[in-house]
């Protein structure tokens, strides 16, 4: 009779004719409510056209029937006003970037107001956002400029890195070349030092062998040495005129025999000087005469007599060498 009696549960229900009637039928399924397009102004004074979809479900049929006249219409209007309020707190860039956060805030605001209506808002999705053509063109120019800027930055960074790599490569190349040159110089110096040492050892061994041969050969070996010295003297004199523009020649240049005799006399004088030195050293070793540097204050009185002995021995050696 126009008064609420009960809520019919799912299944078989018995009604008394003329006394009971079904006033409202509510579906407990999730329903999608389309939110029509509407205008909203952002915090930076840009007018946007937005529409969306609201997903709701009735959780209390009594409140949905008697708490509000038209729950769907009330939810739709609440969604529009809430969306305008949330858009007004954000700038255009934040509206485009924070869509998910905007949907969550609108859903929370609707649920807070719709609890008394027996309806809960499951989620709200902004479907389309339409900005003015001038704003869209400016956004396109901004995106183009930003991408151009990033492209130029990346290109400059690439050129910078390329220059650094080239410089580093040249640096490493110079370092490696210097190290290689240093190693080459060290190896060459070591080789030259070893060659000089080997030549010195070979020359010393040759001199020792020649000296031993001369000592063991006696007069015949000394004659051969004299002949070799004479040959080298003549050969060196022959090369002298070819290697220099200024030549100093002896007076008897036409007398080859005299030149050879001169060479032999030079060798003989050198040999006599060496013989005298060896004789003096032998006398000092045998104790016939005192050695140099071994005098004392007591022996200084005998210096004159020792000198006369040395001179007599050397003169005797010279006379025998002359007879030979």
On the question of pLDDT at 316 being above 60, the answer is no
Q: How confident is the model at residue 196 (pLDDT cuts 50, 70, 90)?
A: very high
Q: Residue 34: which H helix or E strand, with range?
A: strand 30-41
Q: How confident is the model at residue 68 (pLDDT cuts 50, 70, 90)?
A: confident
Reading the block at residue 17, the tokens are 């004719």
Q: How confident is the model at residue 115 (pLDDT cuts 50, 70, 90)?
A: confident
| pTM, 2 dp | 0.43
Q: ∠ CA 278-282-287 to the nearest 5 degrees?
A: 150
pLDDT recorded at residue 294? 46
Q: Residue 213: which H helix or E strand, with range?
A: helix 133-217
Spell out the residues 6+ positions from residue 289 whose beta carbon is closer than 8 angstroms to its own. 280, 283, 306, 309, 310, 313
On the question of pLDDT at 131 being above 50, the answer is yes
Mean of per-residue pLDDT scores for the chain? 76
Contact 51, 124 (CB under 8 A): no
Contact 43, 91 (CB under 8 A): yes
pLDDT recorded at residue 152? 92
Number of other residues whose CB lies within 10 A of the CB of residue 71: 21
Coil/strand/helix, residue 259: helix
Q: Percent of the chain having pLDDT more than 90?
A: 16
Q: How confident is the model at residue 243 (pLDDT cuts 50, 70, 90)?
A: low
Contact 264, 271 (CB under 8 A): no
Tell me which DSSP letter residue 301 carries: G
Number of other residues whose CB lies within 10 A of the CB of residue 138: 12
Q: Which whole number is the average pLDDT over 46-66? A: 85
pLDDT recorded at residue 186? 93
Lowest mean pLDDT among 108-122, 134-148, 173-187, 205-219: 205-219
On the question of pLDDT at 299 being above 70, the answer is no
Higher-confidence position of 271 and 22: 22
Which residue from 285, 290, 286, 281 is spatially nearest to 309, judged by alpha carbons?
290
Contact 52, 126 (CB under 8 A): yes
pLDDT recorded at residue 193? 92
CA distance 121 to 82: 13
Q: Is 64 exposed, middle or buried (0-12, 13-18, 19+ CB in 10 A)?
A: buried
On the question of pLDDT at 311 being above 90, the answer is no
């Amino acid at each position: 009779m126009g008064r609420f009696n009960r809520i019919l549960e799912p299944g078989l229900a018995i009604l008394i004719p003329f006394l009971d009637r079904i006033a409202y039928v509510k579906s407990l399924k999730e329903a999608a409510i389309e939110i029509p397009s509407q205008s909203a102004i952002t915090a930076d004074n840009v007018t946007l056209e937005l529409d969306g979809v609201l997903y709701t479900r009735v959780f209390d049929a009594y409140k949905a029937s008697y708490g509000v006249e038209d729950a769907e219409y009330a939810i739709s209007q609440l969604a529009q006003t809430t969306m305008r309020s949330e858009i007004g707190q954000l700038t255009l860039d934040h509206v485009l970037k924070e869509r998910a956060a905007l949907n969550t805030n609108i859903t929370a605001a609707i649920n807070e107001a719709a609890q008394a209506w027996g309806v809960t808002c499951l989620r709200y999705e902004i479907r389309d956002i339409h900005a003015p053509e001038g704003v869209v063109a400016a956004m396109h120019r901004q995106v183009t400029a930003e991408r151009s800027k990033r492209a130029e930055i990346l290109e400059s960074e690439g050129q910078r890195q390329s220059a650094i790599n080239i410089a580093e490569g040249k640096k490493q190349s110079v370092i490696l070349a210097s190290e290689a040159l240093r190693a080459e110089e060290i190896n060459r110096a070591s080789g030259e030092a070893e060659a000089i040492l080997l030549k010195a050892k070979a020359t010393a061994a040759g001199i020792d062998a020649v000296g031993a041969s001369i000592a063991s050969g006696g007069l015949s070996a000394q004659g051969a040495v004299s002949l070799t010295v004479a040959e080298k003297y003549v050969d060196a004199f022959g090369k002298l005129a070819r290697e220099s523009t200024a030549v100093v020649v002896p007076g008897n240049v036409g007398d080859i025999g005299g030149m050879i005799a001169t060479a032999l006399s030079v060798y003989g004088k050198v040999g006599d000087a060496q013989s005298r030195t060896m004789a003096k050293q032998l006398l000092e070793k045998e104790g016939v005469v005192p050695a140099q540097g071994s005098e004392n204050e007591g022996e200084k009185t005998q210096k004159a007599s020792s000198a006369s002995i040395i001179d007599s021995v050397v003169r005797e050696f010279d006379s025998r060498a002359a007879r030979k």
